[in-house]
């Protein structure tokens, strides 16, 4: 595999699309500092998946996008593509050419492509894995890597060796395992803490549950005593209500007498007021006439005063007009003088401008001629200079290449000997690795089959357990829902039974009769709605059919009904209807009614649908015997129409067809408020409660059975999961062993192929170099005999022409400035003259307007003086008329005073009567307030009973004996005992049971976590053993390469990489021990700067030799080396370039001489990098 080219667009300083083509051998990238060379290294790192922006010399991700310059706008995206020749199939894709692309937008969106197909960054890492250019490879060696090794401690230096040895991924797995162990430990500690907290809570929770039971007993007793007190207060309020009603009647009689007397006094006062009203008409007429005269007089005086002020204002306006006329005359004279001055200035500037333009045209002609002469001289000089430069360049290249070819021939022989020795070692290593690979693959296949079978069994068990758990969850949800429905039904049934006992909805009169304690109460049978039972489906229809009759009271005889009516009158409890059994008779049905009962859709007569005791047959036959029930509105309408609307029909939805053709319908009131519907609803709810209780018991039994099944499946699943995990751990171990053996075998195979190819290449290269050396020496001899041309005379001619052109340019600039200045002055003079003409015209218009205002002022002054004289005469006449009207009004007022005295006497009597009537009203209001208060107290008492959860009947049943003080004391004692219990938790019993279950769950979880921790520790120990073996092997091989490369770069000496602690392989640091030729052995930190840099370069090349890469990018690592060391490093790279393609960023001449291709990076435009390519090998061939 080989890197063919790289394309950049918008990446850092490469604003335009730039293509770098890489040939075999060494490609050197050169250029001045700051031109963008290292941006190429950053681009390679970036496209291969580098995520650390600081490694790319940036602060944030968007720093890699071209930021713009003074002439260019910023780019919106950066894109880099690497083209690889994959004809040998190194990359695991079916393409001969592979293109890897990365694109980043300023929005932060990032895209990756392989052969123009979108992919993930992980896919790119997987593509380059095990190719030598992956994440941990030495494909890019920069100055930062050299500095990192030079400045690092032995412990930090170890990280670099781990990356080269390839155990970083194992460290990641180990860290993951240790993290899981620590997390498991934290979970164990957390569960233990939670168990400790739960144990601390169990004691108080048990006490809370016992306290809750005590509270419920005390609270039930408290409710009984409070209900007794509330019942006594209700009886007291009912007695006070009767007393307040009697007081109200007495006050009402007294108020009626006062109102009669007040009416008589009002009549007398009305007669007197009528007479005074007639006199009032005359008085109002006189007042109106007097006010009118006074108003007219005041208006005339105001107008006169206004005319006086207007006259004074007009005199002041005349003075202002005189002053304006004088100012206008002065401005007119000044404007005439200014016009003459502006005309003279404009003529003068126009003449100066014409002369300046003639001089400018002459200067432009001279400047053009001088420039042409300078261009001709420069072109001739450039031609001669280029010719001499080409000759010198060819001489340099030929001499350098000849010397290089001689050196390469010598190194070629040495390299051939080394390759033969390496081939023998690799063949032995390959055979051993293939044997280990076969053994591990057989063991892996057996374990995989066993693990697959275990996973299948576990998956089946898990599916069964999940189904059982889901079924159990559904059953528990159903049980909770049924229990909630049962509680809701029970609560609703209790409320409806309480309403039945209280006869809720029967009305006050019915309640009074049913609650009576008299002797005739035993002959009261009850309410109509309570004496029958109605199927729920017909409740709405029969409720409408009965209507208010459901609240009628049925008695055994007429005498009982009369006694009850008398009782209501005495109590003033209202009115109601009684149905005595001995007087109410059944009504006979007509033939039409009998026939209608047989019509389609007619269910029958209402009296036949409900059930009741035979004693009440006459009552229900009288009320419902002639009412038909229809199953739908359409059926009812059809039947009513057929029989001429003479029937009473009620439908199941409550719609009623009345005799005569009218209809009654709409929404129905709540069932709880109706006696009929409530009775039917209560029966229906009781039936639902029975069914729901049976369903809940079936659900509970099903839940117990399902829970036992789920527990058995969970135990089986846990056993299978444990076996599956053990098999997976063993399988992963075998897979790792097989993968390690395969990697070693593949590595040995590739190394053999590489060494064979290198040997063949070396032989071919040696023959080519010998032939090339002969050609180079012949070309050099011919070129040295050719003389160079002289350029001094041409340089002097060009300098003189340039000096003359510069003088003309300065003169031309000065005259252009002068012409521009005069043009602006002429324009300003013309503008001033135009504005002056406009001002003169406006001044003339202002004079005409001033004359018009003078004439208008004179006319208004004359008119004002005339009107003022006329108004003064009218004011005198109106004052005499006003005095006459005032005298007439005073005489009328004296005659009217007697009627006022009589009116005041009657008003006093009316005031006293009104006061008496007000007092009676207040007493009546007070009586009404008392009635309302006692009624409210009764309602509040009933509400208090309801809040206590009691009805009157229940309060009577739970009534406690004792005086009022004893009852209050007992309630206070119960409240005190309840308060001593403290805060009550209503869910204490359920919480206590849940806590016990949770404690059992925590104990099981803790045991499972401890077992998992032990297994994780075993896995981490196995990873440590594998890492130790692989790191020792890698350190030995890297050390061998390090010694070999060090000897070649330094011309001898020794170099070793040793562990600081041989017993602790996984944590020990790595020390670099160096012995340059002729010196003692010492640590890396004690060497000179150049020796340290060259040693680190040798170490990095050893990493590359251990894990070869198809290409290697070296970024200015030779900066700290002297010329001799640079030459040695360049010679090594040249020899190694047959196996690895090198891209070297450098400033050093020796490194450039070793390159096959030169890529020059420049900045012709500030901030934008450009590329220039020179193929040295092609130049050598052409030169030959």
3-state secondary structure at position 1076 = coil
Burial of 14 (0-12, 13-18, 19+ CB in 10 A): buried
What six digits make up the tokens of 505? 């909805």
Long-range pairs, 703-709, Cβ under 8 A, ≥24: 703/472, 703/475, 703/476, 703/479, 706/468, 706/471, 706/472, 706/475, 707/472, 709/468
pLDDT band at 675 (very low <50, low <70, confident <90, very high): low
Q: Does 267 fall in a domain?
A: no
Interval 50-61: pLDDT, tens: 888 887 888 888
CB 237 within 8 A of CB 933: no
Backbone phi, psi, residue 90, to 5°: -60, -45
- Mark which of 673, 693, 716 sits at the end of a domain: 673
Number of domains in the chain: 2
| CA 70 to chain CA mean position, Å | 39
Q: Residue 81's domain is classified under what CATH number?
A: 3.40.50.300
pLDDT confidence of residue 11: 92
Task: For helices 988-1050 and 675-784, give the axis angle rounded to 10 degrees.
Answer: 0
- Mark which of 623, 653, 673 sits at the end of a domain: 673
What six digits make up the tokens of 465? 């357990």
Interval 956-1005: pLDDT, tens: 777 778 787 887 888 788 778 777 777 777 777 777 778 888 778 878 88
Interval 1009-1040: pLDDT, tens: 788 888 888 888 888 888 888 878 888 888 88
Mean of pLDDT values over 1102-1107: 76
CA atoms 495, 501, 506, 509: torsion sign: negative
Q: Does 352 fall in a domain?
A: no
Instruction: State the DSSP string of 408-461.
Output: HHHHHHHHHHHHHHHHHHHHHHHHHHHHHHHHHHHHHHHHHHHHHHHHHHHHHH
Long-range pairs, 201-208, Cβ under 8 A, ≥24: 201/995, 202/992, 202/995, 202/996, 202/999, 205/988, 205/991, 205/992, 205/995, 206/992, 208/984, 208/985, 208/988, 208/991, 208/992
Where on the phi/psi map is residue 317: left (φ > 0), alpha (ψ -120 to 50), or beta?
Answer: alpha
Is the pLDDT at 99 greater than 90? The verdict is: yes
Q: Does 402 fall in a domain?
A: no
Mean of pLDDT values over 400-423: 73
Question: In this prediction, what percent of the chain has a pLDDT beyond 70?
Answer: 91
Q: State the Cα–Cα distance between residues 871 and 76, nearest whole angstrom.
A: 90
What six digits make up the tokens of 270? 């009305």
Q: Does 215 fall in a domain?
A: no
When mean pLDDT is compared across 23-27, 790-794, 979-983, 1075-1079, the lowest value belongs to 790-794
Mean of pLDDT values over 696-712: 83
Please give the residue range of the domain that contains residue 543: 508-673
3-state secondary structure at position 1113 = strand
Cross-sheet strand order for the sheet of 1054-1059: 1054-1059, 1070-1075, 1082-1083
DSSP-H helix ranges across 552-601: 558-571, 591-596
What six digits make up the tokens of 142? 């920069």
pLDDT confidence of residue 1184: 43
Question: How many CA atoms, within 13 angstroms, populate the side-chain half-sphere of residue 108?
Answer: 1
Q: State the Cα–Cα distance between residues 138 and 149, nearest whole angstrom.
A: 14
Is the pLDDT at 273 greater than 80? The verdict is: no
What six digits make up the tokens of 844? 């003339």
CB 1121 within 8 A of CB 1050: no
Is the pLDDT at 266 greater than 90? The verdict is: no
Interval 570-619: pLDDT, tens: 887 788 889 998 888 887 888 888 888 898 999 999 888 888 888 888 88
Question: How many CA atoms, within 13 angstroms, populate the side-chain half-sphere of residue 780?
Answer: 16
pLDDT confidence of residue 1041: 82
3-state secondary structure at position 79 = strand
CB 583 within 8 A of CB 558: yes
Interval 34-47: pLDDT, tens: 888 888 888 988 98
Q: Does 997 fall in a domain?
A: no
Interval 500-535: pLDDT, tens: 666 666 677 888 888 888 888 888 898 888 888 888
Q: E-assigned strands of 86-144?
A: 97-105, 110-114, 117-119, 140-142
Report the number of secondary-structure helices (H) and strands (E) in the chain.
22, 25
What six digits make up the tokens of 210? 């016992």
CB 860 within 8 A of CB 318: no
Mean of pLDDT values over 647-651: 91
Label the pairing between strands 140-142 and 1111-1115: parallel
Is the pLDDT at 119 greater than 50? The verdict is: yes
Interval 322-353: pLDDT, tens: 777 777 777 777 777 777 777 777 777 777 77
pLDDT confidence of residue 895: 64
CB 213 within 8 A of CB 986: no
Backbone phi, psi, residue 663, to 5°: -125, 145
Q: Does 340 fall in a domain?
A: no
pLDDT confidence of residue 114: 92
- From residue 112, give the alpha-carbon distance in Å to each of 14, 133, 639: 20, 17, 83
Mean of pLDDT values over 430-451: 76
Mean of pLDDT values over 1157-1183: 76
Q: Residue 621's domain is classified under what CATH number?
A: 3.30.70.1620
What six digits make up the tokens of 555? 């008695």
- Mark which of 673, 697, 726 sits at the end of a domain: 673
Nearest Cα to Cα of residue 733 among 395, 499, 444: 444
> Higher pLDDT residue, 119 or 1034?
119
Mean pLDDT of the chain: 79
Q: State the Cα–Cα distance between residues 1095 and 648, nearest whole angstrom.
A: 119
pLDDT band at 810 (very low <50, low <70, confident <90, very high): confident
Interval 751-776: pLDDT, tens: 777 777 777 777 777 777 777 777 77
pLDDT confidence of residue 555: 92
Interval 848-879: pLDDT, tens: 777 777 777 778 778 777 777 777 777 777 77
Q: State the Cα–Cα distance between residues 612 and 92, nearest whole angstrom.
A: 94
Return the top range by mean pLDDT from 244-253, 356-365, 473-482, 604-613.
Answer: 604-613
Q: State the Cα–Cα distance between residues 999 and 390, nearest whole angstrom.
A: 93
CA atoms 99, 105, 110, 111: torsion sign: negative
Is the pLDDT at 155 greater than 80? The verdict is: no
3-state secondary structure at position 1029 = helix
Nearest Cα to Cα of residue 16 among 92, 61, 55, 72: 72
pLDDT band at 229 (very low <50, low <70, confident <90, very high): confident
Interval 889-917: pLDDT, tens: 676 666 666 667 777 777 777 788 778 77
What is the residue whose two structure tokens read 């109509």? 528
pLDDT confidence of residue 79: 94
Q: Does 211 fall in a domain?
A: no
pLDDT confidence of residue 364: 73
Nearest 10 degrees: CA dihedral of 609, 613, 616, 618? 60
pLDDT confidence of residue 612: 87
3-state secondary structure at position 49 = coil
pLDDT band at 666 (very low <50, low <70, confident <90, very high): confident
Nearest Cα to Cα of residue 244 among 969, 965, 928: 928
CB 995 within 8 A of CB 201: yes
Q: Does 543 fall in a domain?
A: yes
Question: In this prediction, what percent of the chain has a pLDDT beyond 90?
Answer: 4
When mean pLDDT is compared across 344-358, 674-688, 778-792, 914-928, the lowest value belongs to 778-792
Nearest Cα to Cα of residue 1104 among 1045, 1027, 1050: 1045
Interval 44-95: pLDDT, tens: 889 888 888 887 888 888 888 998 888 888 888 999 999 998 888 888 888 8
Is the pLDDT at 842 greater than 50? The verdict is: yes
Element (H, E) at 66: none
CB 53 within 8 A of CB 63: yes
Cβ neighbours of residue 1048 under 8 Å, at least 6 residues apart?
1128, 1132
pLDDT confidence of residue 758: 73
């Amino acid at each position: 595999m080989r890197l063919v080219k790289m394309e950049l667009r918008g990446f850092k300083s490469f604003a335009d699309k730039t293509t770098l083509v890489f040939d075999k051998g060494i490609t050197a990238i050169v250029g001045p500092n700051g031109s963008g060379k290292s941006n190429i290294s950053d681009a390679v790192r970036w496209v291969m998946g580098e995520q650390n922006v600081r490694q790319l010399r940036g602060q944030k991700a968007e720093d890699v996008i071209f930021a713009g310059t003074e002439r260019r706008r910023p780019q919106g995206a950066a894109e880099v593509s690497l083209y690889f020749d994959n004809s040998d199939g190194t990359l695991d894709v079916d393409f001969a050419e592979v293109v890897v692309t990365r694109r980043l937008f300023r929005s932060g969106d990032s895209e990756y492509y392989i052969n123009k197909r979108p992919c993930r960054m992980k896919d790119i890492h997987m593509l380059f894995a095990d190719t030598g250019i992956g994440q941990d490879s030495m494909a890019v060696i920069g100055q930062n890597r050299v500095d990192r090794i030079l400045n690092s401690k032995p412990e930090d230096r170890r990280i670099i060796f781990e990356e080269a040895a390839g155990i970083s991924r194992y460290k990641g797995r180990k860290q993951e395992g240790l993290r899981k162990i620590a997390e498991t430990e934290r979970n164990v500690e957390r569960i233990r803490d939670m168990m400790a907290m739960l144990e601390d809570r169990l004691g108080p929770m048990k006490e809370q549950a016992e306290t809750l039971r005590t509270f419920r007993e005390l609270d039930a007793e408290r409710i009984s005593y409070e209900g007794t007190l509330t019942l006594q207060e209700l009886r007291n309020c009912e007695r006070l209500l009767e007393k307040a009603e009697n007081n109200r009647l007495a006050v009402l009689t007294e108020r009626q007498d006062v109102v009669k007397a007040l009416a008589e006094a009002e009549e007398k006062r009305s007669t007197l007021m009528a007479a005074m009203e007639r006199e009032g008409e005359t008085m109002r007429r006189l007042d109106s006439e007097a006010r009118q005269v006074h108003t007219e007089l005041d208006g005339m005086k105001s107008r006169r005063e206004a005319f006086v002020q207007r006259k004074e204002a007009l005199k002041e306006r005349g003075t202002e007009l005189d002053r304006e006329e004088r100012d206008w005359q002065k401005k007119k004279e000044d404007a005439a003088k200014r016009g003459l001055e502006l005309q003279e200035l404009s003529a003068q500037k126009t003449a100066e401008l014409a002369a300046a333009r003639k001089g400018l045209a002459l200067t432009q002609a001279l400047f053009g001629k001088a420039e042409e002469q300078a261009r001709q001289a420069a072109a001739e000089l450039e031609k001669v200079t280029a010719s001499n430069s080409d000759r010198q360049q060819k001489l340099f290249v030929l001499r350098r290449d000849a010397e290089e070819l001689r050196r390469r021939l010598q190194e070629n022989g040495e390299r051939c000997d080394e390759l033969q020795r390496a081939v023998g070692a690799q063949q032995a290593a390959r055979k051993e690795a293939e044997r280990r690979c076969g053994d591990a693959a057989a063991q892996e296949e057996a374990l995989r089959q066993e693990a697959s079978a275990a996973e299948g069994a576990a998956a089946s068990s898990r599916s069964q357990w999940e189904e059982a758990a889901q079924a159990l969850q559904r059953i528990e949800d159903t049980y909770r829902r049924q229990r909630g429905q049962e509680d809701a039904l029970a609560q609703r049934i209790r409320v409806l039974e309480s309403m039945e006992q209280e006869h809720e909805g029967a009305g006050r009169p019915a309640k009074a009769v049913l609650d009576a304690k008299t002797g005739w109460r035993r002959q009261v049978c009850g309410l109509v709605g309570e004496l029958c039972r109605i199927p729920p489906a017909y409740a709405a229809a029969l409720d409408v059919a009965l209507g208010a009759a459901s609240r009628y009271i049925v008695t055994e005889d007429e005498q009982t009904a009369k006694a009850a009516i008398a009782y209501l009158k005495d109590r003033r409890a209202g009115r109601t209807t009684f149905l005595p059994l001995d007087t109410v008779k059944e009504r006979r049905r007509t033939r039409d009614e009998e026939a209608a009962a047989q019509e389609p859709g007619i269910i029958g007569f209402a009296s036949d649908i409900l059930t009741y005791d035979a004693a009440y047959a006459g009552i229900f036959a009288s009320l419902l015997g002639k009412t038909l029930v229809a199953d739908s509105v359409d059926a009812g309408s059809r039947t009513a129409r057929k029989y001429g609307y003479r029937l009473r029909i009620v439908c199941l939805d409550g719609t009623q067809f009345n005799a005569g053709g009218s209809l009654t319908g709409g929404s129905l009131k709540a069932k709880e408020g109706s006696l009929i519907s409530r009775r039917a609803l209560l029966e229906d709810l009781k039936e639902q409660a029975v069914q729901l209780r049976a369903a809940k018991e079936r659900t509970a039994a099903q839940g117990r059975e399902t829970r036992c099944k789920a527990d058995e499946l969970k135990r089986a699943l846990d056993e299978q999961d444990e076996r599956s995990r053990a098999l997976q751990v063993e399988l992963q171990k075998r897979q790792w062993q097989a993968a390690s053996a395969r990697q070693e075998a593949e590595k040995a195979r590739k190394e053999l192929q590489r060494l064979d190819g290198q040997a063949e290449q070396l032989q071919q290269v040696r023959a080519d170099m010998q032939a090339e050396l002969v050609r180079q020496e012949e070309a050099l001899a011919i070129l040295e005999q050719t003389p160079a041309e002289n350029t001094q005379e041409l340089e002097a001619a060009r300098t003189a022409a340039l000096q003359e052109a510069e003088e003309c340019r300065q003169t031309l600039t000065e005259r252009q400035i002068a012409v521009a200045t005069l043009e602006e002055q002429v324009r300003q003079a013309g503008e001033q003259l135009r504005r002056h003409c406009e001002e003169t015209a406006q001044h003339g218009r202002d004079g005409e307007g001033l004359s018009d205002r003078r004439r208008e002022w004179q006319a208004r002054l004359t008119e004002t003086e005339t009107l003022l004289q006329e108004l003064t005469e009218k004011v005198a006449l109106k004052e005499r008329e006003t005095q006459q009207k005032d005298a007439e009004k005073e005489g009328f007022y004296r005659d009217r005073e007697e009627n006022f005295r009589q009116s005041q006497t009657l008003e006093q009597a009316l005031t006293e009567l009104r006061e008496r009537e007000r007092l009676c009203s207040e007493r009546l209001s007070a009586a009404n307030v008392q009635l309302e208060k006692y009624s409210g107290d009764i309602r509040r008492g009933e509400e208090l009973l309801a809040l206590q959860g009691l009805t009157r009947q229940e309060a009577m049943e739970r009534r406690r004996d004792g005086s009022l003080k004893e009852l209050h004391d007992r309630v206070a004692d119960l409240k005190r005992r309840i308060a001593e219990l403290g805060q009550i938790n209503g869910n204490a019993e359920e919480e206590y049971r849940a806590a016990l279950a949770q404690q059992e769950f925590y104990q099981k979880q803790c045991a499972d976590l401890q077992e998992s921790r032990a297994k994780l520790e075993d896995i981490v120990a196995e990873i440590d053993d594998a890492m130790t073996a692989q790191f020792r092997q890698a350190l030995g091989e890297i050390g061998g390469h390090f010694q070999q490369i060090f000897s070649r770069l330094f011309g001898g000496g020794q170099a070793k990489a040793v562990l600081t602690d041989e017993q602790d392989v996984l944590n020990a640091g790595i020390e670099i021990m160096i012995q340059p030729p002729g010196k003692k052995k010492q640590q890396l930190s004690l060497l000179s700067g150049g020796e340290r840099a060259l040693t680190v370069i040798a170490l990095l090349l050893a990493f590359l030799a251990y894990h070869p890469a198809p290409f290697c990018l070296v970024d200015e690592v030779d900066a700290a080396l002297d010329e001799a060391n640079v030459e040695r490093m360049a010679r090594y790279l040249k020899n190694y370039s047959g196996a690895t393609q090198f891209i070297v960023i450098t400033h050093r001449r020796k490194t450039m001489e070793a390159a096959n291709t030169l890529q020059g990076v420049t900045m012709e435009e500030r901030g934008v990098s450009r590329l220039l390519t020179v193929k040295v090998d092609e130049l050598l061939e052409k030169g030959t």
